Structure 1
């Protein structure tokens, strides 16, 4: 089959592509590569003209202040439009988000009308923030979520402009338009299955052939890594990790090494955390996001979402990662236990890899997508 994957935010579509290609399908990805992360795509819509010089970036800021129009957002749509002749006659089209084209909603609608018309079957994947997810989280019915900081402090609204845009009429209309034109909506983990129980969950694919398992060896120090994405600092609860690390650093000065990075391209991010034993991912999740899964595949101990819902869904009785909570004392206690019991780090790391191979193997997951697409 010919398959077109629109958008890439986490390497999910790249891993899915690798699984589908292993099953002898022809796959292309179109997208921006997600800003600084620079994920590979076949057709790039990255706004390289507007970002090519500081002068143009400055001009864009001025233009936005006067006309409330972001030329980078417009350029993404224009680049997508130029690719339209190549985006025809696919058997399957999958959008990674209702805003997968990453341009203005009215322009996305125009472009996606062409996509839906010129290809056979289309699907929507919800694997991050989107209109029904934000609607659900704003009800504040869960014990915590990525919106918890905002719900507790309205002054943080500016930190949530990306999230809240999905509640605006133009983005809501875009979601409804896509929802009425796709065969099915798929979700990637429990953080989206809980708000959308009617949708089919297909776990994130992880290429375990590319990501080698590295048995953890702990010599003098336990190495802890915190990778900060400045745009999602508040939503991921990174402040709790920072505060916990301050205490851990004082408590175990001679036993730990702490590495902190900020908004690195994907490849540099991975290279930097390779030497770590423990990865601090996020505190507001119920299941693991993509970065956490890749780290677990390498055999790292990851502090991330691993709530009871996750343990029950996969019938787990032993930890494959550490359930992170928005509680500094709790995080310090969990980190302290691992530092004082390094053999437990090694054991959890092995379990993590086994879990990924069993539940997230990229070829098995690609087959699940094929089965779902073919059912419609």
Structure 2
């Protein structure tokens, strides 16, 4: 099968590609490489006029004329190589706005893909019209909408989420829904909003390439190593304010028992190795299911504070703890960290359970087979 994967978040499409290649399929990735994370893509797109003086000029032109220069330049980049983006059995969009263009140029690109390929699918693994509106309509559901409604995130910093509530993105949503072959969710946080939509095909868990992530049996000597990686752009979205407060208390409470490492905006290739010595990883709040950073750390046998709600445990029929469900409560986080520090055997057990869970539910070759079965139906 000839497959075109469009867009890259958190290495999802790269891991899926590796699984598909191992099964003998022809796979190409087109898209942006997700900023400083620098994920590899076969046909990279670059955002033009998106910083410095040129960005100011672009915004002035947009305000005066309504013309978005960045969208136009992305469209031009696509057109330059468009001959390579036809004749595929399957095209998968990572998002409703995979090319980050306005409605005019996004639909120009999508129309070409719909016309020149057999099937086009949408993957819900980030913000989209259905997901964002569901979370605004259900403010008690754990999601990144909660810190926004709490006033922690300004409208400007939340614009990449809020845009999906605008008329043009509602129009783009309906355009894609009319033409695509179906929608797949990557975890429970996207499954919940989409489950009653007419073209929804179901949840396929994130693929994790276990051949690239060695299980590291933990050894605990004198201190417990805690790792906290911060992406400054998503600081409040991930709940880092709660983690940092909890870590301050833990450092004072156990000065001789813990070593805490904090990094910011580290490229993926470096980040994935930074926490090899760590026992505990602080990932994120506000959700039911794990994202990519958590899953990869779990694959290495780490204890990860992340989204692991009761709904998640029920969905996967879990009787053992595979991660610590992180909540927006400093006292709760301190209590959970303290229990692990005072009972190192719990760290060993959860880390082992985490690796077993990833092998069972997220192995990249098994997940690639699930995609192939869903695409082929």
Q: Which category of TM-score, normalised to the shorter sequence, fits these structures? A: over 0.9
Structure 1 residue 174, shift from structure 2 partner: 1.5
Match of 1:3 in 2: 3
Q: CA RMSD in A?
A: 1.6
Q: State the match for 1:157 in structure 2.
A: 155
Query: How far off its partner does 1:311 sit?
Result: 0.3
SS in 2 for 1:157: coil
Q: Distance in 2 between matches of 1:307 and 1:212?
A: 26
SS in 1 for 2:154: helix
Aligned to 2:277: 275
Aligned equivalent of 1:16: 16
Tell me what 1:343 maps to.
345
Within 2, Cα distance between the matches of 1:77 and 1:230? 29
The alignment status of 1:373 with 2:367, answered yes or no, reads no
What is the CA distance between 1:74 and its match in structure 2? 4.0
Deviations 1:13-37 (A, max 9, x none): 0000001011100000001111111
Tell me the distance in 1 between the aligned counterparts of 2:266 and 2:70: 20
Structure 1 runs, 4 residues or longer, greater than 6 Å off: none
Aligned counterpart for 2:215 among listed residues 207, 213, 216: 213
Report the counterpart of residue 54 of structure 1 in structure 2.
none
1:29 match: 29
2:331 is aligned with 1:333: no
Larger CA deviation: 311-320 vs 195-204: 195-204
Picking from 164, 176, 187, the partner of 1:166 is 164
* Among 56, 78, 81, the residue aligned to 2:79: 81
1:228 Cα deviation (Å)? 0.9
Deviations 1:137-195 (A, max 9, x none): 11135343211122233873333111101111222211211111111100010001111
> Taking structure 1 as reference, are residues 145 and 29 closer, same or farther at Cα in structure 2, changes over 3 Å only?
same
Question: Residues 45 and 77 of structure 1 are in contact (CA less than 8 Å); yes or no, is this contact kept in structure 2?
Answer: no
Cα distance in structure 2, aligned partners of 1:20 and 1:155: 39
Shift of 1:50: 4.9
Which TM-score applies when normalising by structure 2? 0.94
Asked if 1:67 corresponds to 2:61, the answer is yes
Give per-residue Cα distances to partners, 1:112-136, cap 9 Å, x unaligned.
1001100001100000111111101
CA distance in 2, matches of 1:217, 1:12: 30
Indicate the residue corresponding to 2:146 in structure 1.
148
Does the aligned pair in 2 maintain the 1:33–1:44 contact within 8 Å? yes
Structure 2 counterpart of 1:177 = 175
Deviation at 1:218, TM superposition (A): 1.4
Residues 74/255 of structure 1: CA separation in 2 closer, same or farther (3 Å cut): farther
* Distance of 1:139 and 1:2 partners within structure 2: 39
1:81 deviates by 2.2
Contact 2:210-2:299 within 8 A present in 1 as well? yes
Q: Indicate the SS of the match to 1:94.
A: strand
Equivalent residue of 1:356, what SS?
A: helix
TM-score, structure 1 as length reference: 0.94
The 8 Å contact of residues 39 and 266 in structure 1, kept in 2 or not, is answered as yes
1:354, CA displacement in angstroms? 0.3
- Partner of 2:244 in structure 1? 242
**Cα contact 1:127–1:189 (8 A) shared by 2:** yes
**Which SS does the other structure have where 2:155 is aligned?**
helix
